[in-house]
Structure 1
Amino acid sequence: MAEELDWESLTEATSGAVGALVSTTALYPLDTCKTKFQAEVRSHGQGKYRNLSDVLWEAISKRQYKSLYQGLGTKNLQSFISQFVYFYSYSYLKRFHLKKSGAKSVGTTANLVVAAAAGVCTVLVTQPLDTASSRMQTSAFGKSKGLWETLSEGHWIEAYDGLGISLLLTANPAIQYTVFDQLKQRVLRRQSNTVATENTKSSPASLSAFSAFLLGAISKSVATVLTYPAIRCKVMIQSADIEDGSKKDSQSKRPKTMLGALSSIWKNEGLPGFFKGLNAQIIKTVLSSALLLMIKEKISTLTWISMLALKRFLLASERRVKSH
């Protein structure tokens, strides 16, 4: 059984999942402010939040500091599972393609297809957690509910709100990791001290912390700008309904479809509305992605060594069982 496991993919997945936990926790207050800001539709310039700092000030003025972390447990669970599934699928499918094609490296087109396929696998597994975390973040400060209560509020199918857009947004990590991988290969090729030997398999080549952070920031910026209108529509669809007894119109209810979200944005905010919160999204996602990739690169060697030790332990255990 130990021989059958894809240890390299498992190493990639574990490193990515650990990086996701650290980056998500470190930047969560910013993520909460960003999500609440994106979810609000300003009618003809009138809205609760004029900018991202207004969301932060609301939490501070109401002394709801802990509410900036509402939904953190769910978000961490979603981040860990999604990154584990994504990196495992991405690594496995990439090597499967190389094995079948006989090529030495994955081209840009093939890399996009592989990354998109890995993204689809991830979305199908983690969509309910993604929906729940968005609703918890966009709930009024201090009124966020637990994971099970959030998911059980409506019909079970509502846990998959925004699934269509999430599938569309698999283009985001596909673009991000394709750009990152292409840049990474160029950087590693230029490192004169990287010598290919027979022992390279025991310790995969990795970027320096600064290089990984920089390339992660560049790749995520490109992906975010290209897919942002869909990102905002997804947040609006998954957000909690506005609880305001004085408002019974359509503004108090979130749109249910991408067309509904696009129509609401166009009607109330015009063309600039499709990019409302883009700067906050870039700051948060770039920092998060760059931090994730930096951590992943730096712990990949340690994770690889740990996986080799685990593999030897499992093999030894299997031999002992067979001997008896």
Structure 2
Amino acid sequence: MAEGLDWESLTEATSGAVGALVSTTALYPLDTCKTKFQAEVRSHGQGKYRNLSDVLWEAISKRQYKSLYQGLGTKNLQSFISQFVYFYSYSYLKRFHLKQSGAKSVGTTANLVVAAAAGVCTVLVTQPLDTASSRMQTSAFGKSKGLWETLSEGYWIEAYDGLGISLLLTANPAIQYTVFDQLKQRVLRRQSNKVATENTKSSPASLSAFSAFLLGAISKSVATVLTYPAIRCKVMIQSADTEDGSNKPRTMMGALSSIWKNEGIPGFFKGLNAQILKTVLSSALLLMIKEKISKFTWISMLALKRFLLTSERRVKSH
């Protein structure tokens, strides 16, 4: 059993998942404000929130400080599972491609395909949690419900609201991690005195904390700008029911139509600065943590592998 496991993929997945937990928790209040701001459609310039700070001020004025963390448990669960599935799938598929093609490195096109395939796997597994966390974050401060109650509202199929856009947005991490990997390879090549050898017993080469943070910020910025209109549509579709009883859009075309009718072209990029700030910080922090703990995770996985192999031998000997 131990021999059959893909330990390198498990290392990548575990490191990514831990990084996701830390970054999600640290930046969650900003994420809540951003999501509530994106979900609101301003009719002819009139709306509850003029900017991101208005959302924060609402929580402070109502003394609902804890509400800035509403849905954190669900978001952390979703982040941990999604990053574990994504990094495992991405690492496994990348090495599978190299084995089948015989190439020494993954080209840009192949990297995009592999990243997109990993993204699709992730979306199909975590979409209900993604929808639930969005509903919790966009609920009125102090009125957020629990995970089970949130998912139980309406039909279960509604837990997959925005699935089509989520699948479309697999292009976002695909672009992000492709840009990151390409930049990472260039940086590591320049570190001639630290070139890693093809030895399974040695720990994988890693970036410095600053380099990982910088490359993560650059790669996520590129991906966010290219996919932002779809990101905002997804938030609108997955948001909680509006307090005034008005109907929220149920499809991407409905969301696009609502934005165009009420806000015009600028509406497609409403909250872009907040999205970039949050996602760049989150992604850069995630990748920085992942790179820094990858050696420790690798050593831990090797120790676990030896333990399992020893246990299996003992069982067979008896």
**Which bin holds the TM-score, normalised by the shorter protein?**
over 0.9
Question: How far apart are the structure 2 equivalents of 1:310 and 1:12?
Answer: 15
- Go from structure 1 to structure 2 and tell me whether the alpha carbon gap of 1:91 and 1:247 turns closer, same or farther (over 3 Å shift): closer
Contact 2:212 2:291 in 1 (8 A): yes
- Go from structure 1 to structure 2 and tell me whether the alpha carbon gap of 1:198 and 1:279 turns closer, same or farther (over 3 Å shift): closer
Q: Deviations over 1:247-297 (max 9, x none)?
A: 99xxxxxx0000000000000000000000000000000000000000000
- Go from structure 1 to structure 2 and tell me whether the alpha carbon gap of 1:245 and 1:296 turns closer, same or farther (over 3 Å shift): closer
Contact 2:116 2:171 in 1 (8 A): yes
How many Å apart are 1:192 and its aligned residue? 2.5
How many Å apart are 1:195 and its aligned residue? 3.4
Which one is further off, 186-195 or 13-22?
A: 186-195
Number of aligned positions between the proteins:
318
How many Å apart are 1:201 and its aligned residue? 4.4
Instruction: Give the TM-score normalised by the residue count of structure 1.
Output: 0.96
- Go from structure 1 to structure 2 and tell me whether the alpha carbon gap of 1:299 and 1:246 turns closer, same or farther (over 3 Å shift): closer
Which ranges of 4 or more aligned residues in structure 1 deviate by more than 2 Å? 195-201, 244-248
How many Å apart are 1:193 and its aligned residue? 2.0
Question: How far apart are the structure 2 equivalents of 1:82 and 1:8?
Answer: 18
Question: How far apart are the structure 1 equivalents of 2:186 and 2:214?
Answer: 14
- Tell me the residue number matched to 1:113: 113
Question: How far apart are the structure 2 equivalents of 1:21 and 1:243?
Answer: 31
Secondary structure in 2 matching 1:91: helix
Question: How far apart are the structure 2 equivalents of 1:75 and 1:263?
Answer: 29
Instruction: Give the TM-score normalised by the residue count of structure 2.
Output: 0.98
How many Å apart are 1:243 and its aligned residue? 1.8
Q: Deviations over 1:101-160 (max 9, x none)?
A: 000000000000000000000000000000000000000000000000000001000000
Question: How far apart are the structure 1 equivalents of 2:279 and 2:76?
Answer: 15
Contact 2:41 2:263 in 1 (8 A): yes
How many Å apart are 1:200 and its aligned residue? 6.8
How many Å apart are 1:198 and its aligned residue? 5.9
Q: Deviations over 1:197-228 (max 9, x none)?
A: 46574210000000000000000000000000
Question: How far apart are the structure 2 equivalents of 1:112 and 1:199?
Answer: 26
Question: How far apart are the structure 1 equivalents of 2:245 and 2:285?
Answer: 41
Secondary structure in 1 matching 2:192: coil
**Structure 2 alignment gaps of length 5 or more:** none
Q: Deviations over 1:26-49 (max 9, x none)?
A: 000000000000000000000000
- Go from structure 1 to structure 2 and tell me whether the alpha carbon gap of 1:131 and 1:197 turns closer, same or farther (over 3 Å shift): closer
Question: How far apart are the structure 2 equivalents of 1:86 and 1:37?
Answer: 28
- Tell me the residue number matched to 2:72: 72
Question: How far apart are the structure 1 equivalents of 2:242 and 2:103?
Answer: 53
Question: How far apart are the structure 2 equivalents of 1:286 and 1:51?
Answer: 19
- Go from structure 1 to structure 2 and tell me whether the alpha carbon gap of 1:98 and 1:199 turns closer, same or farther (over 3 Å shift): closer
Q: Deviations over 1:89-112 (max 9, x none)?
A: 000000000000000000000000
Question: How far apart are the structure 2 equivalents of 1:304 and 1:285?
Answer: 27
How many Å apart are 1:244 and its aligned residue? 2.6
Contact 2:241 2:247 in 1 (8 A): no
Aligned alpha-carbon RMSD (Å): 1.3
Contact 2:9 2:88 in 1 (8 A): yes
How many Å apart are 1:246 and its aligned residue? 9.4
- Go from structure 1 to structure 2 and tell me whether the alpha carbon gap of 1:209 and 1:303 turns closer, same or farther (over 3 Å shift): same
- Go from structure 1 to structure 2 and tell me whether the alpha carbon gap of 1:198 and 1:267 turns closer, same or farther (over 3 Å shift): closer
Question: How far apart are the structure 2 equivalents of 1:247 and 1:312?
Answer: 57
- Go from structure 1 to structure 2 and tell me whether the alpha carbon gap of 1:46 and 1:15 turns closer, same or farther (over 3 Å shift): same
- Go from structure 1 to structure 2 and tell me whether the alpha carbon gap of 1:314 and 1:261 turns closer, same or farther (over 3 Å shift): same
Q: Which of residues 250, 256, 263 is equivalent to 2:250? A: 256
Secondary structure in 2 matching 1:48: coil
Question: How far apart are the structure 2 equivalents of 1:213 and 1:204?
Answer: 18
Question: How far apart are the structure 2 equivalents of 1:245 and 1:180?
Answer: 43
- Tell me the residue number matched to 1:189: 189
Contact 2:195 2:205 in 1 (8 A): no
Q: Deviations over 1:295-321 (max 9, x none)?
A: 000000000000000000000000000
- Go from structure 1 to structure 2 and tell me whether the alpha carbon gap of 1:314 and 1:277 turns closer, same or farther (over 3 Å shift): same
- Go from structure 1 to structure 2 and tell me whether the alpha carbon gap of 1:246 and 1:297 turns closer, same or farther (over 3 Å shift): closer
Structure 2 residue 179 is matched with structure 1 residue 179? yes
Secondary structure in 2 matching 1:322: helix
Structure 2 residue 312 is matched with structure 1 residue 318? yes
How many Å apart are 1:196 and its aligned residue? 3.9
Q: Deviations over 1:169-207 (max 9, x none)?
A: 000000000000000000000013213446574210000
